Amino acid sequence: MFDRDLRRTTSGVRVLIALADERGMPALDCLSGTTLTPEDEHCTTHQELRVVRNLVERFGNEPGLGAEAGHRLELPRSGPWGLALLSSRTLRDLIDAMVRYLDRTLVAGRLTVEETSGELRLRFDDTETPPPLRVFLTERTLAAIPAVGRELYGAALSTARTEFRHAAPADIRRHRENFGTDLAFDAPANAVVFDGRRLDRPLPPLDERARFTCTRFCRDLLERHRPRTGVAGGVRELLIRTPGDIPDQIAVANELFLSPRTLSRRLNEEQTSFRALLDEVRQLLSEQLLAHTDLTTEQVAARLGYAEAASFIRAFRRWKGCPPQEFRLRGGRELAVSGTPAPVGAR
């Protein structure tokens, strides 16, 4: 059962207000029954569901309205979840991070993953979704999945087909625009299906805006921890330039038009080393991913460029004096004691 009091950002509500406004429905009517204003930045799950109900009661007969809402989904490009998404190296990595993020931000229903017969299926369980809102929320959730590609890579994720439990509307043009041409209605389950042969292929280059925003988050994080100038500052900038693809010392030296030996000497003059800077970057990014996402230790290690999780675990012990899972548990307890859990879905 969903948590009606879970705090979240109003990014989803803003999309609903925009859809209502385009159809002549004032924002205050869209927010009727809540205490929200158009300027609020946070809401509860219950409040967002109330806004969904207001929209559906007025325009629920419009085919593909939920798909249009999902198409406009705003994904995080900064913050820990932005780092988790943008540092994915394969479609499989991205799907896993995306499902974990979306499952935390859904107002109702649950996403699960199953892989059989050469296909990966993202299933949306709508059994706990209020029946009058079921079609809208199902289409909004499933449309958000291919929209991830448009948001991060400038092109929709390539899917094999999309299946819906509900009957086909009279007009499916909007569904074709958002989901592609291979659609199935009156299906046993709601699902977005991917070709298993594509799952382990490298992802396309990141959209420049998404890459820049994520890099800026990493830079600000590092600067708050320890400002760096000179050659050390340049090295650290290169280490965070492409999330999920941390370069080695030779590649960094080439970017700085230095030989590896000269780079080592220059860093030594600044009382640091390439290894120390690499550890600095990995430590701070790993702390963000462990404390604020539910990626596994193995997934965090891969995003930081470790060939195996064991190497990451040893390094983390050296940095923090405890293994990653113990650090995560400590962080969870501290957040619980503080009584101020961060809203999910922050951009």
Delineate the domains of the chain, giving CATH numbers in brackets: 1-59 (no CATH), 75-198 (no CATH), 208-338 (1.10.10.60)
pLDDT of residue 347: 42
- The whole-angstrom separation of Cα 228 and Cα 181 is 51
Q: Per-residue pLDDT for 80 more than 80?
A: yes
Q: Is the pLDDT of residue 274 over 60?
A: yes
CA distance between the termini of the chain: 25
Q: What is the pLDDT of residue 247?
A: 93
86-108: average pLDDT? 88
**Is a pLDDT exceeding 70 seen at residue 71?**
yes
pLDDT of 102 strictly over 70: yes
Residue 73: what residue type?
A: L
Quick: pLDDT tens for 137-193.
999 999 988 888 888 887 778 889 999 999 999 999 999 988 888 999 999 999 999
* pLDDT at res. 344: 52
Segment 309-346, tens digit of pLDDT: 999 999 999 999 999 999 998 875 454 344 334 445 44
pLDDT of residue 123: 94
Least reliable range by pLDDT among 9-23, 194-208, 271-285: 194-208
Q: Is the pTM of this model over 0.85?
A: no
For residue 21, pLDDT over 70 is answered with yes
Mean per-residue pLDDT, 284-289 = 94
Residue 108's pLDDT is: 84
Identify the pLDDT of residue 260.
95
Using a pLDDT cut of 90, give the percent of the chain over it: 69
